[in-house]
Structures are given as C-alpha cells and as structure tokens.
Structure 1
C-alpha cells in the first residue's frame, strides 16, 4: 500500500500486534514515504529498513535511540540531520542519496560499517572517533584526497573508494594495520606508495583503471605477502602482455587471481619457478653430460684396450709364423747342402740312383709340406719348381700336379678360414662392446 506519511496504526497492523514495545524490527522499503516521525514511539526498535522511499531528512528518527541497524538507501536525503543521537548504531547504509557531507556521523562511536556510496561527498572527515569502524564504503563520490582522516582507524578491514577523483594515497592508510580489502579502481592514481607495505594483511587490492604507467609504481606489491587477488586492468602499464608479465614477476607467491583471471602455480610464481626449473634443467643436463663423458671415456678406454690386445695377438701370430718359416728355410738349406755333399761323394755314377730316390720321396714330402698350415708360400713354390726341374715320368708328374693343386687349395682355404676367423673375432668384439660404443660404431645413440 502506497503512503506518504507513516502512522502508528499502520505499523501495528503490519506487525499484527498492539504492543509498541514488542516491535524490534521493521521493513518499510519501497513505500514512497516522506515522513516517518511516528517511529519515535517505538522505543525498542533496533532494525529499520527504509530503502527506496522519498525521505529528505531523518528528523523523525531522533528518538529511536536503540536503533542498531539502519538503511536509508536511495532516498532524497541531502543531509544526515537527525541521527546524531543514535549512538547505538553499528550499521548505517545511506548510499544513493544526495548527501554533501558526512559530519553528522562523528558521534556514532559504535559504528562498525558506514556505507555512503553514490552521494555528493567531497571530503572524508569526522571519522577519528569511530574506533570500531571496520568497513568504509565511499565509492562514487567526488573525493579528491583521503587525507589523514583514517589515521586513527586501526580496525578498518575494508575500504572502498572506487570511482572517485583520488590522485594519491600517500601515507593515509599506514595506520590501518588490519586492512584486508582495498578498492581504488577508476581514480587518477599514478603509483602505489611505499607505505602500503605496512598493510601486511591485505588480501584483495583493486587499482584498475588508474594512470599507473611504470613498474616502479607497483614495486610495493612484492612486500604484500598475504595478497591473493590483484586487479590492475585499465592502467597504461597493463596495456600489453609484455608489461603484464613484468608485473607478474613482482607479485608475491600468495597471489591466486590476477586481473580477474586465476593464476596457476607456474605463472604466479613465474620469477621463482622459472629460475628453479632452469636450475633443475641445467643440473640434469650437466649430469647427463658428465655421464656421457664418463661413458665415452670408459668406452674409449675399453676400445683402446681391445685394439691393443688384438694388435698384440696379431704380432704374436706373425712372430710365430715368421719363426716357423725361418726354421723351415733353415732346414731346407741344410737338406740341400747335404744333398750336394752326397752327390759329390757318390760321383756321377750314383746320379741316376739319387734321382730315382728323389722321384720316390717327392710326392710324400711335398704333400706333407702342403698339408702343413705353417708352411710358407715361398717354400711351396720353391719345392714345386725343384720338382718340375728334376722330375720324369707321367705318373709322377700327375701325382705332383694333383698334390700341388689340392695342397694350394687347402692352403688357400686355411687362409680364408683365418680371415673369416679374424672377421668373426672382430664381430664378436663388436657385439660384446658396451651400449655406449654404438656411438663410435655408427649405431643409434643411447643418449637422448
């Protein structure tokens, strides 16, 4: 029911009672009220909601001395005259009116929350005695400076001064040691003062849409170890991603939300985690390099040792073969000398008998020499030419020829076997090498 002037009867009817003293709270919002003076009769009234009415003053409430909670949001108030005696008030919400001053609240010593947003207040004053004040909302008022009016308010935990005309904060908040939320968006602030570092408990800070241009104007952020939510959008320094990254490096590890976006661990701790990651990567790379060098050194050492053993084995075989050939040559020379002596001793008459003996002995001796893997090629060909020079008879010729061919084949086969054995040895050596040797042998590397 629309009304302009409130009556006691209407209130009692609304509350369905006849006892004025029993009425402790009233909701009279959106009733287009211009006069509420009848409320002075309700002595026990503690909570009163007069939102969205047409009140121009609060004189009708001066006798409601037990009021603790009062809302007069969106009326037509030009002053707060009439509330000076309401000393029990703990919450006063007079936002969206036409208030030009806040002088009247100086006597409200028990006030804890003062909400005066969207008015025409130009200066903050008369707050020094409000020792219990913890929330102050003065957004959208033509306030140009904070001054020292908050210097005695040590219990302030929330301050909202957004959309004002503030150009600097200075040391105005240095005494607000319990400050947890500070809203200063849409002002003309050029830098955050160093004194802000005294607000150690600050959790939420909004300085969006100001005129902060340099990184030095935000250096104090690094000292706010409890900061969780930061907004600097709309400042020149946050115009590009490069500058925003620089700001992120300043942030303490506690920040969870930056410019209304959640930060993951990596990005919010970018300065620290990047260096830690780089250190870990460097250590890992150094460890891998050291292991690689150690493995390469070990593999190289093993390769050299293997090569030395192979070389020694080859020298040993060569030496043995050379010694065998030398003994055979020596034996052959002795045999020839003996033959010549024998021929001289027997004379020309015994030449035929010696030749016959040579013919009978040659096939057996030659076969034995050809079958001997230690016999040198020089010895074989020497014996073959001697046989050809002194031999007679087709049978013996055929025998010698067959023996020679067979023997040479066998010798060549033995040589092939030696080569093949050498190849197998080399292959075996390669197959037994450690995995790291694949690098040197052209195989796939074992290292990443």
Structure 2
C-alpha cells in the first residue's frame, strides 16, 4: 500500500468511530495524497477539505452524493471529472490547479460559490442552470471574453476576472441586477459600457491597470449611485493629472474610497471647491488679493469709528474741566465779597450745589457713552467690561478724570491687540479656505481578486 493513498481504516481511526455513515466532515489537507477513492464509501460526507495534496482527478468522489462543501485548492488537477454528480454541492474551490476547462460545473444546479482562480481556463462555459450562484472567481485565467455565459445569473453579487485577457465587457453583465462587487483589474479594457448603468447596486468597482484612455470611457460612473469604492489607477486616463481631476468630478458623493485612498467629508467638499465647470483648475487662493482689500477696508472703517469716538470723549472731558473751573472761581469771589457768616454759608452751599450739578452732568454723560459702546458692532466685549472695571470705585472728580484717561488708554491697547488678533485670524481664514486632501493611505492597488 502506497504512503500517499488514503484508506477507510485511517479515516475511521482518526474520527474514532466504526460507523462510516456517522462521518459527515473530514479535513485531509496537507497530506500529499494522490488517491482518495476510499471516500466513496462515506455516503453521508457533507464537508471535505483536500487542500495542498497531489490529486490529479476527482473520480473517487463520484459516490459522495451528499457533499455540500469541497475544497481542492493547490493540487494537480487537470480536469474536474468526478464532480458532475455532486448536485448538492453549494461551495466548490478548485483554485491553483491546472484546469483547462470548467464544463463539468454546468450541472451543479445548487452551487452558490465557484472559485477557480489561477488555472488555465480559456473560456467561461454556460452557467444558465446555476440560478443560485452569487460568487464567481476566475481571476488569473487566460479568458479573453465574458460573452453571454452570465446572462441568466440574476443573483450573482461578486465577480472577479482580474488579470485575465478581457478586452471588453459589453452587455455581458446587464442581467446581473444584484451585482455588488466587480473586479476587472489588469485586463485590456478600453471603456466601461453604458449597460453598466443596469448594475444599480454596484458597491465596489476595480478596473485598475487597464487601457482606458478617455473620459468618455468612464461617463457611466456618474450614474452608479450606490458606488462606494472605485479604483481606476494604472489607466492612461488616471495617469494624466488634469484628466484625473475631471474623473473626480464624475464621482457621486457616495464614493468613500477612490484609487485606493479613503476620502473623508472635507476632501469631498474640497473636490467641489477646487474644480470649476470650465475644465480648468480653480483654487480659492486666487481670491487672496480681494480678501486683503476687504480686510483693509474693514480696518479703515474701524479706525475712523475709533477716532470719532475718541474725539467725542475728549470734547466731553474739556467741557467738564471748564465747568469745574467756573464753579471754583464763583465760589472764591463769593467768599471774598461776603463778610457775614450767614451769607458765607449760603454762598458755600450754593457753590456745593453747583458742584453737585456738574457731577450729575458728568454721570449722565458716562452711561450714554457706555450705551454707545454696547450698540457699536465693532466694540469687543473685552472693551466694554474693561470700562466697567475702571469706572467702579472712583471717589472725587479728580479720580474720575484719571479714570477717564486710564479708560481711554486701555481701550486703545485692547483695540490694538484685537486688531492684531483679527489680522492673524484673517490670514488663517484665507489659508484655510483651500481644504487639502488627506494624506495618501496606500491600500490594495487592484491586488488579488478573491474572497477568503
């Protein structure tokens, strides 16, 4: 008995049973097996893993009629003879073999996932009977055209035909209304067909490294409202920077990843801000001179308003000084001319009353000034609160005079600081007007098109 042949005794010993009908699942991977004909006796077998062996055919599995899951990846199979009768099979993975044909598949009516990547298959057979097929992987096979082999597969949601020799898609996918993922990287495709609009549920599309040269070959992209991930890198139309920008304009807001780079909301907004409809690059930084003129105009308006308020304040201060001097001189004249104490007292009281009236006038002027500052749109909150702080706690008229000077000084200092802050803010705003795209994050550039 050869070391690479499997026996019934070995299987029963491994499963720790004497009942052949109780064995439903077997993992026989990586054992260098070249003969598994004994498995025909295990009629209730449902799942079988034969990866990484030396099998050249599958004739020994003919009687495993209940088999639902079969993996024969990385063997030496030249045909799939032996699987025709396995009509309950739902998953078949025969990738990385030496298969030249897939005709044996056409009778597997319950098949849902078919994976035949890395073989020597040159054409896709008719799959009309596989109504439940949802995943088809045929990448890295010398397939030149799709034809009408998929025309009746309405439930097909994933197709991978990367690194084949496909030159055109045509109307071969128009019936695949449930298609969500389509991988066609590294082929010879020159344009995406208008019929792709019928694949309304398409989420992921990879047509990188093909031969698409003009924007007209990508116009259909604007109709795919569900598209989330698009890769066209490696095509002549994508290599040209100007053309690449135009392609970005075709994309709908739903696209999250473009050319293997994730897009966030800011970059999507930047896309619309940076490109105009005349096919020429437009940058919001071109508006910088206009922004500078606007800021200068605002600055001059603020300065004129500030100067006006300072002049009004100085005029009020001078008026108060004159009134105080007048009241003092009147009091001195009354003191010299009057000899009697009663008259002196009366005149002193009159002088005091005049001082009180002057103080009342000054107090009335101050609130008005406060109200003007609050109503002025150019006055900052810091200026208003600084005035309140300085004016509180002042005793006589001399202290009030000093507080007015201090107040004016504070206002000027704070105005200068505010202007500096506003200038800085203006510069920052003009710089931030152009939203830069996020840093490049390299993820899958149309790599292996298969599902684990």
1:179-199 per-position Cα deviation (integer Å, ceiling 9, x unaligned): 111000000001111111111
Partner of 1:50: 50
Q: Partner residue of 2:12?
A: 12
Report the equivalent of 1:120.
120
8 Å contact kept, 1:249–1:270: no
Alignment partners' CA distance in 2, 1:269 and 1:178: 31
TM-score, scaled relative to structure 2: 0.62
Provide the rounded CA distance (Å) in 2 between the counterparts of 1:195 and 1:83.
35
CA distance in 1, matches of 2:73, 2:232: 30
Q: Report how far residue 158 of structure 1 moved.
A: 0.3
Tell me, in whole angstroms, the C-alpha distance in 2 between the residues paired with 1:270 and 1:194.
29
Partner of residue 106, structure 2: 106
CA spacing shift, 1:435–1:9, aligned 2, 3 Å: closer
Look up the SS of the partner of 2:44 in the other structure.
coil
Cα distance in 2 for partners of 1:435, 1:118 equals 73
Change (3 A) 1:269 1:98: farther
1:299-348 residue CA offsets vs partner (Å, 9 max, x unmatched) = 99xx9xxxxxxxxxxxxxxxxxxxxxxxxxxxxxxxxxxxxxxxxxxxxx
Instruction: Report what 2:75 is aligned to.
Output: 75
The SS at the match of 1:126 is coil
| Residues 182 and 206, structure 2, Cα contact 8 Å, conserved in 1 | yes
- CA contact under 8 A between 1:193 and 1:220: conserved in structure 2? yes
Which residue does 1:186 correspond to in 2?
A: 186
TM superposition shift of 1:18:
1.0
The one-character-per-residue Cα deviations of 1:276-310 (angstroms, maximum 9, x if unpaired) are 9999x99xx99x98xx89x98xx99xx9xxxxxxx
Question: What secondary structure is seen at the aligned counterpart in 2 of 1:63?
Answer: coil
What residue number does 2:446 align with? none
CA distance in 1, matches of 2:26, 2:214: 52
Q: Once the two structures are superposed, what CA deviation does each residue of 1:261-285 show, in whole Å capped at 9, x if it has no partner?
A: 1112233355545589999x99xx9
C-alpha distance in structure 2 between counterparts of 1:3 and 1:192, whole Å: 53
Question: 1:22 matched to which residue of 2?
Answer: 22
User: Aligned equivalents of 2:138 and 2:188: distance in 1?
Assistant: 16
The Cα of 1:106 is off from its aligned counterpart by 0.8
Figure out how many residues of one structure are paired with residues of the other and give that number. Answer: 311
**1:406 equivalent in structure 2:** none
Confirm or deny: 8 A CA contact 2:126 2:150 kept in the other structure. Answer: no
Does the 8 Å CA contact 1:255/1:268 hold for their aligned counterparts? Answer: no
Compute the displacement of 1:240 (Å).
3.7
Structure 2 CA distance for aligned equivalents of residues 269 and 221 of structure 1 = 19
> Cα deviations across residues 191-229 of structure 1 (Å, max 9, x unaligned)?
111111111111111111111111111111111111111
Matched with 1:206 is 206
For residues 47 and 435 of structure 1, the distance between their equivalents in structure 2, rounded to whole angstroms, comes to: 79
Equivalence for 1:399: none
In 2: Cα distance, 1:193 partner to 1:147 partner: 14
Instruction: Quote the Cα distance in structure 1 between the aligned partners of 2:65 and 2:268.
Output: 51
- C-alpha displacement of 1:435: 8.7
Q: Secondary structure at the match of 1:159?
A: strand
2:264 matched residue in structure 1: 264
What is the aligned partner in structure 1 of residue 447 from structure 2? none
Pair 248,275 (structure 1): closer, same or farther in 2 beyond 3 Å: closer
1:248 is aligned to: 248
| Aligned counterparts of 1:7 and 1:435: Cα–Cα separation in 2 | 94
User: Once the two structures are superposed, what CA deviation does each residue of 1:234-259 show, in whole Å capped at 9, x if it has no partner?
Assistant: 11112143332221111111111111
Segments of structure 2 that go 5 or more residues without pairing to the other structure are 277-281, 309-371, 379-414, 427-452
State the SS of the aligned residue for 1:230: strand
Q: What SS does structure 2 have at the residue aligned with 1:196?
A: helix
1:35: Cα distance to partner? Answer: 1.1
**Residues 250-329 of structure 1 mapped to structure 2, 5 A cutoff:** 250-272=250-272
- Secondary structure of residue in 1 paired with 2:40: helix
Q: Secondary structure at the match of 2:104?
A: helix
Task: Tell me, yes or no, if the aligned pair for 1:181 and 1:205 is still in contact at 8 Å.
Answer: yes
Work out the CA distance in 2 between the residues paired with 1:163 and 1:5.
Answer: 36
Q: CA RMSD in A?
A: 3.6
Q: TM (normalized to structure 1)?
A: 0.62
1:166 aligned residue: 166
